[in-house]
Amino acid sequence: MTSSRSGRNYLLCGWHVRSELELPDLPLSSEPDRPVDIEIVFGTVAETLDDPVHATPFMQVAQDGTIQIGLAGVGRYRLENGRRVVLAPAEGADLAATRVFLFGSVLGMLCHQRGLLPLHAAAVTIEGRVVALAGTSGAGKSTLCARLVQRGHRLITDDLCIIDPHEPSGPVLRPFGFSVKLRRDSLEQLGLDPQQLILNRRGQSKYLLPVSRPVAETEAPIRLEKVLILRTGLPHEADHVEWMSGFDRFAYLIEHVYRRRAAAALGRNAALFRDAARITGSGGARLGVFRRRKQFDHLDAQATLIEGIATAAP
Amino acid sequence: MISKPLSNDTVLSVAPDWLSTMVDAELVLMNVRSGVYYGLNPMGTEIMSRLAVPIRFGDLAAALVREYDAPEEVITAETRQLIEQLREHGLIEGRD
């Protein structure tokens, strides 16, 4: 094991995190006396949880709300009450890969345990206004997000948009992004050299593109103003955004909640309903379906369209 | 679940485990156990709002007849159909 056993304190999504796993992408905390919100420790994690109320080969949820996530070659994580993560890296695992899952599925489920709403979306700020790009895996969130970052906009997150729906002024985002995960073909189209980048995980052709000047942890939370759902449009149709209202606005948002089925097993349905209602209710975020052609040669025109949407009045 | 046929004396109420909210003037409901959710059209919204307190089907239909400018038999038939649909989806319960 190459990581320090003593642990260091970091800032993540507004939380004070003490971690035995080194997290070089996160800012270090300068408040040693501040109480720790989440602790990440190395330890033993059983192969699966006993008596799960929800189980897939990747994740189990127990009656008491404990969650276990495991991935062959990477490791196993046990999430206890949103306060403690026990990590057992797989033998010979690359700790960079254990970090990737920590900032993906583990972080998403910690949000559920802690009462925040994780949305499967990328997000950037454009002239200080937030646009989230939601969509299923392969919808093109990261590529579009990377292009927007290349055009000078600031990254909030590339895949997991953490929403605090409880702020009295309206839903806000908790930034934590520092890289964008991209497929090899996207890299080439964006003019990037894969040789210069880190592989996301061994055996997977996804790369991590580090981002300069992402929105920092220490900045004030940013209001979520607009959410675009990425969908593939018809080939003969121009790229366009169709704004949603009523039930559709609610439904599109709730369908993109990160790992909603596992969250339901945690007993989160009622909370997610209230949070989604708050986010889509009056004074909440606008939501549109962005029907777009997926060819790369349209990427810049799409980025321009998003820039226009972001800076238009809410 | 097989429901008894709807009569004027059937007392209708919103089934337990449903949460509701208005989004842009449309009623959205979710079952907190199953996570299933629905959106209702204006007529469904109107009916659900009238079921906040349990009500006899006959009284509900009569109230709607007073409210809307359409033949009684049309309103009663449409209300019956909608109530049956809402019962089928488990949104409302009826007891005699």
pLDDT, tens only, A255-294:
999 999 999 999 999 999 999 999 998 778 999 999 998 8
Say how many CB pairs under 8 Å bridge A and B.
53
| Separation of alpha carbons A85 and A77, rounded Å | 6
Q: Taking CB atoms and an 8 Å limit, are B28 and A264 in contact across chains? A: no
Global ipTM:
0.85
In chain A, which residue's Cα lies nearest the Cα of B35?
A: A269
Determine the Cα–Cα distance for residues B6 and B55; give it in Å rounded to an integer. 13
User: For residue A201, what pLDDT is reported?
Assistant: 63
Interchain proximity B39–A280, CB inside 8 Å: no
pLDDT digits (tens, 9 = 90+) for A151-167: 999 999 989 999 999 88
Chain A: give the shortest CA distance to residue B42, in Å.
11
Look at residue A3 in the predicted model and tell me its pLDDT: 40
- Residue A258 is predicted with a pLDDT of 96
CA dist A71 and A57 (Å) reads: 9
CA–CA min distance B94, chain A (Å): 24
Q: How many CA atoms lie within 13 A of B6 on its CB side?
A: 25
For chain B, say whether A243 makes contact (Cβ under 8 Å): no
The CA-based angle A148-A149-A155, given to 5 degrees, is 110
- Residue-wise pLDDT for A200-237, tens only, equals 666 667 777 777 777 776 677 789 999 999 999 888 88
Terminus-to-terminus CA distance in chain B, angstroms? 16
Mean pLDDT of chain A: 89
Residue A74 has a pLDDT of 94
**Which of B21, B33, B40 is facing A277, going by the closest CB pair?**
B21
Task: Select from A249, A260, A274 the Cβ nearest to the Cβ of B23.
Answer: A249
* Dihedral sign, Cα of residue A212, residue A128, residue A132, residue A259: positive
How many angstroms separate the CA of residue A172 from the nearest CA in chain B? Answer: 19
Say if A88 is an interface residue toward chain B (CB within 8 Å): no
CA distance B9 to chain A (A): 32
pLDDT of residue A218: 67
pLDDT band at A1 (very low <50, low <70, confident <90, very high): very low
Are B41 and B31 within 8 A, CB to CB?
no
pLDDT at A203: 63
Residues from chain B that touch A264, judged by Cβ atoms under 8 A, are 35
Mean pLDDT of A15-19: 95
B44 vs A contacts (CB less than 8 Å): none
Residues of chain B with C-beta less than 8 angstroms from the C-beta of A250: 21, 23, 28, 37, 39
Report residues of chain B scoring pLDDT below 70. 1-3
Strand pairing category for A129-134 and A222-232: parallel
Q: Is B16 on the interface with A (CB under 8 A)?
A: no
Contact A269 B24 (CB under 8 A): no
**pLDDT value, residue A137:** 82
Please, which pLDDT band fits residue A2 given cuts at 50, 70 and 90?
Answer: very low
**Chain-centre distance of CA B43, in angstroms?**
9
Query: For position B18, what pLDDT does the model report?
Result: 95
Which strands make up the sheet holding B55-56, listed edge to edge?
A: B55-56, B11-14, B92-95
Q: Is B74 on the interface with A (CB under 8 A)?
A: no
Predicted confidence band at A197 (pLDDT cuts at 50, 70, 90)? confident
Q: Angle CA(B1)–CA(B2)–CA(B4) in degrees, nearest 5?
A: 135
